[in-house]
Copies of this chain bind each other. A is one copy, B any other.
C-alpha cells in the first residue's frame, strides 16, 4: 500500500507546486477575504446590500460608534469593496465589488440565514 501511495503523493505534490499562484496573488486573495472576515465590516456590507446608506445610518444598522464605522469604511474603500459619494453634508456609501457580495451571499446561504427579499 505504501509504495503506490508514495508515488501518488509525489505526483500531487508536483502538481500542487505547479498550480500554486504567486505569493502576490495569494496575498491579494487573502486581503479580500480578510476585508470581509471582521464582523463589523461584514455587518456594514450586509447593511449596504440593499443600496447606499450614509455613515450615520450604517452605524445604526451595523452598531458601533461613528468613528469605528468610519475607520472600517475606509478599510473597505481601500480594498475597493465599497465606494462613496458626497451628497451635501452626508457621505453615501455603496457596494462596488459585487463579487465580494456574492461570496457573502454564498456564506449566508450556507448558514441557512438568508431571508427572502420583499
Q: Is the CB of A106 within 8 A of B103?
A: yes
Nearest chain B CB to A44 CB, angstrom units: 10
Enumerate A32-74 residues with CB–CB distance to B below 8 Å.
32-34, 36-39, 42-43, 46-54, 57, 60-61
Task: Choose one: B26, B51, B115; the contact of A39 (CB below 8 Å).
Answer: B26
Q: Is the CB of B110 within 8 A of A106?
A: no
**A86: interface (CB < 8 Å):** no
Q: How many A residues touch B, CB cutoff 8 Å?
A: 57
Q: Is the CB of B106 within 8 A of A102?
A: yes
Q: A37-B30, A88-B2, A113-B22 are in contact. Are A9 and B42 (CB under 8 A)?
A: no
